[in-house]
A and B are shown apart, each in its own frame.
Chain A
Amino acid sequence: MSDSGAVSTGGGQPGAARAQAQIPAPPKMVKVFVDGVEVQADSRDNLIEAARRVGVAIPYFCYHPRLSIAGQCRMCLVETSDAPGRLVPGCQVRVKEGLKVVTNSPAVKDNQRGCMEFHLVNHPVDCAICDQSGECKLQDYYMEYDHQPSRIRVNKLNKPKREIFGPQVVYDAERCIMCTRCVRFMDEIAKETQLAVVDRGTHSLIATFPGQPLDSKYSGNTVDICPVGALLNRDFRFQSRVWFVNKSPAVCTGCSNGCNVYAESRGDVIYRLLPRRNEEVNQVWMCDEGRLTYHASNEKRVEWARTGRGDTSASVGPRIAVDRAVELLKPLAGQGGIGIAVSAQCTNEEAAAAFQLGERLGATRYFLGAQPQGDSDDFLIRADKNPNTSGVLLAAEAFGVKLDVAHGIDRVKALIAMRTDGLPADKLARLEVFVAIAQNEDAVTAEADVTLPCKSVYEQDGSLINWYGRLQRTWESVPAQRADTASGWSWAERILTGLGGSASTSVAAAFRTLAERSPHLNGLSFEQLPEEGIVLEALLPQDWPARAPRPLPGGHSVRGPQTTPPGMKVGDEASGGSR
């Protein structure tokens, strides 16, 4: 919960405190009473967190465990033995030895009801058209703490309904309850002051500065932490109602940071990615670019297994395509001139299977394909825009092969590509044989003699190793759109079988193939990989960016509960997401 020590009460205004991942001091436990129940609370806990330890929910809008305290919403007012007869904000008041907290007295309940009534005075009748509907704190708290008609008979205030804040975020001022979470996030986590409160009283609203859009690379997080439907993601807006999507864990493929995410999908289409809590990778945040990576899994896919280049290509089904690949490769086996290109977008299992296939064929050259480098910062964004460069390098080392850069492909007459990222399309035409295991259609797949549709990382079980050596598993979060589609390792294994080799038939066996050869993975099995991943100590780099979350000393796993505490929804700020 608040194990990172992020609860800060320094000042009541946005920007007054800096929340940052810190190595926690040994907690000092104090005894408090919440509604008469004794609680052993961390001395750094505020009343909300202390109550949460015994499953008592104190409602709040503006408080966020990772942001400074604002005390804006007044929803968390409770009674304490320190101030009898008065209400104090549960977000700002910290526990102390022997403190008695009352969260269900008539005065507290009355305040909660009144608070909701006021929050809704100017709220538009928007649920039917609002993306937040179904995951909205106003809806939840209204039914829990108010559930009465409003007594206020004034016209609702009209405010801007669709302010484009930036490339990912659109703002509806009428729905905004001025909790200032977004303002504080930009100040304290993104460290780019791009949002502010303007105007006063009931006319106040959130705004960007003149001429400066909300173009931070972390702007999408403001949508996640917005407790209502005021800030919405333009990519997800009006795409799906939230109760129709299934949430399943995944790992972002946007860069080598390997942020833990939830992929939200309906049928075989992913609708959005949301951050999943992992204190040592991404805390509860992710970058805007990462949020869009699912599009490659939805769009422009290689749909069917096919043979033949360009106009002569024909969809033939997986068995004939694999037979054709075997037929083309068999005469060349062991004769030199075979190259294997492995993309850094591959899972470990796919890379290992490709190297195994190369071994069987007597491949002489190995290439590393990759998405081009991009920008980076000292928080979550890494310059290497591939999720598994470390894993492919580890697999290459395990198989004892030397990797060359893919764009300099030469001295090969046959090439097998495990995913096609970074391959030079213009140099592929002269190849005698080109077998591509590919996810998306592009200029490279047009040159392939055999094209085999590959599952995206979101569609298959597998494992990835991030930039600092964290081995994380991925899941089959969403079914593949086409029946022919298979994971890369399984295509390689099928070709291997066709060539007379013995192949593993499960992802766990594919992982074992690699683990048996690599000293770094010694003793690990795929089934036992924990959800939060484990750190391969030998791969840990020396240079850490200033802000980046890092493994805690003396252990591999994430501290604090990863499970959902009572009364919390999956994705709530204290359990797994940022909301």
Chain B
Amino acid sequence: MTEPGLPDTDPLALEAEIPTAPMTVNLGPSHPAMHGTVRLVVTLDGETIVEAIPEIGFLHRGFSKSSENSTWHQVLPYTDRLNYVSPILNNTGYIMGVEKLIGLKPTERAEYLRVLGGEISRICDHLTCIGAIGLELGAFTTFLYAMEARELLWDRIAELCGARVTVSWTRIGGVATDMPAGWEEHLRGCLPRVLELTNEVDTLLTRNRIFVDRTRGVGVISGDEAIDWGFTGPCLRATGVNYDVRKAHPYSVYDRMDFEIPLGTRGDTYDRYVLRLEEIRQSHRIILQCLDQMPPGPIIIDDWRYALPPKKEVFGSIEGVMAHFKLIMEGIQVPAGEVYVYTEGANGELGFHIVSNGKGKPYAIQVRGPGFPILSALPRLIKGHAVADLIPIFDSINMIGGEVEQ
């Protein structure tokens, strides 16, 4: 017989209600799950997150100011370092802005190459995100599959651009390098393996009871609220809002591509994951269409005011050496003006606001990094969840320090 209050018989007799005071802990800045270097100041009430404030700036490089002191082409390597997982998309966005200021149209082959390279980059970006979300929930295998697929593509990018990550591949009026001999076959050969690996991830995670329980209904945001926060890209489409710059405002040769925009319904972590998985398949379609449609021809315009002359002319003719000298020393002369150019980056609308005063260097450049408004909604997404949900939510918004902190 149990006698309340008697320790000998009542197991709860000595239990007292423990008063909990909010506890503030740091997550990061140097933490494997912090995707770069960002700090979250988390206030906990027991296991529950009361507040989580991201503190950014550890990757601030002074992008805007550095750009003002560089020629138009010298800005290009800085854009590699915005979203360093999909640099070709950043390169393209910036160069399109400069071309719009000049009123220049790149060659058709260059347009296809940019879309091709951009979609490979997008796959790499999404693979990184879905691989990491599995890893951070304990599914190490999926991360290895995703990385294997990403490596395959980064090798193709290295063959195409000469660099894996910091590619600086686009040029005003075109791109820096054409596809090397045999590269197309190489790419066509490795794409099925990339899809196969993506499917492996899909099989391992998408219907995995543990994974679904941990992600579904977590970090939910509605479409309207997401728009209010300034969401774009996969995080917005996961809420069911159909906005993709490639379809809504087609640029380059996207209007010639047959692809679909996958949409989510709930706007939770699970939808953000599934949506990226599906976008990989759509990007794969675009890549194949690019390869099929790509016309032969020059990869950069033949106008020495904007494109460097061929080396044969630089070393062998006074015209070539003069053009080279002026382009390198003083930069391309971009007419005075102001443009905003927006493209679909891997995480959403990547905007470049560029001001020229007619000189060889930009007067001002501002970047709308898609990650910034999404990161600013992180406290809203995390609040009220258990501390264990923080990492998957943070992963699913795919914050990239380079573009957020610039």
What residues of chain A have their CB less than 8 Å away from a CB belonging to chain B?
120, 123-128, 133-134, 138-140, 142-143, 146-150, 243
Q: Quick check: B325 and A139 within 8 Å, CB to CB?
A: yes
| A112 to B: closest C-beta gap in Å | 14
Residues of A within 8 A of B320 (CB): 149
Q: Quick check: A125 and B318 within 8 Å, CB to CB?
A: yes
Q: Quick check: B322 and A138 within 8 Å, CB to CB?
A: yes
What residues of chain B have their CB less than 8 Å away from a CB belonging to chain A?
303-305, 309, 313, 315-323, 325-326, 329, 333
**CA A500 – CA B68 in complex, angstroms?**
52
| B312 to A: closest C-beta gap in Å | 10
Give 16 A-B pairs besides A125-B318, A143-B323 with Cβ atoms closer than 8 angstroms: A120-B319, A123-B318, A125-B316, A127-B322, A138-B322, A142-B322, A142-B326, A143-B304, A146-B319, A147-B304, A148-B304, A148-B319, A149-B313, A150-B317, A150-B318, A243-B329
The interface residues of chain A, by DSSP majority, are classed as loop
Residues of A within 8 A of B315 (CB): 125
Residues of B within 8 A of A123 (CB): 318
Count of inter-chain pairs, beta carbons less than 8 A? 50
Write the chain B residue with the least CB distance to A138.
B322
**CA A120 – CA B319 in complex, angstroms?**
8
**CA A147 – CA B306 in complex, angstroms?**
10
Given A142-B322, A143-B305, A143-B323: A149 in contact with B317 (beta carbons within 8 A):
yes
**CA A133 – CA B330 in complex, angstroms?**
12
Residues of B within 8 A of A120 (CB): 318-319
Enumerate the 10 nearest inter-chain pairs by beta-carbon distance, A residue then B residue, closest first: A143-B326, A147-B304, A123-B318, A142-B322, A147-B305, A127-B321, A139-B322, A127-B325, A125-B318, A120-B318
**CA A308 – CA B192 in complex, angstroms?**
86
Q: Quick check: A149 and B319 within 8 Å, CB to CB?
A: yes
Given A143-B326, A149-B313: A128 in contact with B319 (beta carbons within 8 A):
no
Q: List 22 A-B contacts (CB under 8 A).
A: A123-B318, A125-B316, A125-B317, A125-B318, A126-B318, A127-B318, A127-B321, A128-B321, A134-B325, A139-B325, A139-B326, A142-B323, A142-B326, A143-B323, A143-B326, A143-B333, A146-B319, A147-B305, A148-B319, A149-B304, A149-B313, A150-B319
**CA A238 – CA B95 in complex, angstroms?**
37
Give the residue among B305, B309, B325, B329 with the most A Cβ atoms within 10 A. Answer: B325
| B361 to A: closest C-beta gap in Å | 14
Q: Quick check: B316 and A149 within 8 Å, CB to CB?
A: no
Write the chain A residue with the least CB distance to B304.
A147
Write the chain A residue with the least CB distance to B327.
A143
| A568 to B: closest C-beta gap in Å | 15
Give the residue among B315, B326, B333 with the most A Cβ atoms within 10 A. Answer: B326
**CA A147 – CA B324 in complex, angstroms?**
10
| A173 to B: closest C-beta gap in Å | 15
Residues of B within 8 A of A149 (CB): 304, 309, 313, 317, 319-320
Pick the residue among B304, B309, B329, B333 that contacts A134 (CB under 8 A). Answer: B329
| B313 to A: closest C-beta gap in Å | 6
Residues of A within 8 A of B305 (CB): 143, 147
Q: Quick check: B318 and A124 within 8 Å, CB to CB?
A: yes
| A221 to B: closest C-beta gap in Å | 26
Give the residue among A123, A140, A143, A148 with the most B Cβ atoms within 10 A. Answer: A143
Residues of B within 8 A of A124 (CB): 318
Q: Quick check: A143 and B329 within 8 Å, CB to CB?
A: no
**CA A147 – CA B322 in complex, angstroms?**
9
Residues of B within 8 A of A243 (CB): 329
Residues of B within 8 A of A143 (CB): 304-305, 322-323, 326, 333
Given A125-B315, A147-B304: A133 in contact with B323 (beta carbons within 8 A):
no
Write the chain B residue with the least CB distance to A122.
B318
Residues of A within 8 A of B322 (CB): 127, 138-139, 142-143
**CA A324 – CA B39 in complex, angstroms?**
60
| A241 to B: closest C-beta gap in Å | 9
| A304 to B: closest C-beta gap in Å | 37
| A570 to B: closest C-beta gap in Å | 15
**CA A134 – CA B309 in complex, angstroms?**
18
Q: Quick check: A125 and B304 within 8 Å, CB to CB?
A: no
Give the residue among B313, B319, B323 with the most A Cβ atoms within 10 A. Answer: B319
**CA A149 – CA B313 in complex, angstroms?**
8
**CA A150 – CA B317 in complex, angstroms?**
8
Pick the residue among A133, A146, A148, A150 that contacts B325 (CB under 8 A). Answer: A133
**CA A512 – CA B316 in complex, angstroms?**
62
Residues of A within 8 A of B329 (CB): 134, 243
Residues of B within 8 A of A138 (CB): 322
Residues of B within 8 A of A126 (CB): 318
**CA A123 – CA B319 in complex, angstroms?**
9
**CA A204 – CA B304 in complex, angstroms?**
31
| B216 to A: closest C-beta gap in Å | 60
| A513 to B: closest C-beta gap in Å | 42
**CA A123 – CA B304 in complex, angstroms?**
19
**CA A124 – CA B304 in complex, angstroms?**
19
**CA A142 – CA B319 in complex, angstroms?**
8
**CA A140 – CA B326 in complex, angstroms?**
8
Residues of A within 8 A of B333 (CB): 143
| A478 to B: closest C-beta gap in Å | 23
**CA A192 – CA B325 in complex, angstroms?**
37
Give the residue among B309, B318, B319, B325 with the most A Cβ atoms within 10 A. Answer: B318
| A224 to B: closest C-beta gap in Å | 21
Write the chain A residue with the least CB distance to B332.
A143
Residues of B within 8 A of A150 (CB): 317-319
Residues of B within 8 A of A147 (CB): 303-305, 323
**CA A138 – CA B329 in complex, angstroms?**
15
**CA A316 – CA B329 in complex, angstroms?**
46
Give the residue among A123, A124, A138 with the most B Cβ atoms within 10 A. Answer: A123
**CA A146 – CA B319 in complex, angstroms?**
9
**CA A322 – CA B304 in complex, angstroms?**
62
Residues of A within 8 A of B326 (CB): 139-140, 142-143
**CA A134 – CA B303 in complex, angstroms?**
21
Write the chain B residue with the least CB distance to A141.
B322
**CA A133 – CA B326 in complex, angstroms?**
10
**CA A147 – CA B313 in complex, angstroms?**
12
**CA A128 – CA B321 in complex, angstroms?**
8
**CA A97 – CA B329 in complex, angstroms?**
43
Residues of B within 8 A of A133 (CB): 325
**CA A133 – CA B325 in complex, angstroms?**
9
| B310 to A: closest C-beta gap in Å | 9
Write the chain B residue with the least CB distance to A117.
B319
**CA A339 – CA B256 in complex, angstroms?**
92
**CA A138 – CA B325 in complex, angstroms?**
12
| A53 to B: closest C-beta gap in Å | 20
**CA A139 – CA B326 in complex, angstroms?**
7
**CA A148 – CA B323 in complex, angstroms?**
9
| A256 to B: closest C-beta gap in Å | 40
Write the chain A residue with the least CB distance to B326.
A143
| A114 to B: closest C-beta gap in Å | 13
| B377 to A: closest C-beta gap in Å | 47
**CA A518 – CA B382 in complex, angstroms?**
78
**CA A124 – CA B321 in complex, angstroms?**
10
**CA A279 – CA B326 in complex, angstroms?**
33
Residues of A within 8 A of B309 (CB): 149
**CA A133 – CA B318 in complex, angstroms?**
12
| A571 to B: closest C-beta gap in Å | 16
**CA A153 – CA B189 in complex, angstroms?**
46
**CA A149 – CA B319 in complex, angstroms?**
6
Residues of A within 8 A of B319 (CB): 120, 142, 146, 148-150
**CA A243 – CA B309 in complex, angstroms?**
22
| A462 to B: closest C-beta gap in Å | 33
| A316 to B: closest C-beta gap in Å | 43
Write the chain A residue with the least CB distance to B314.
A125
Write the chain A residue with the least CB distance to B315.
A125
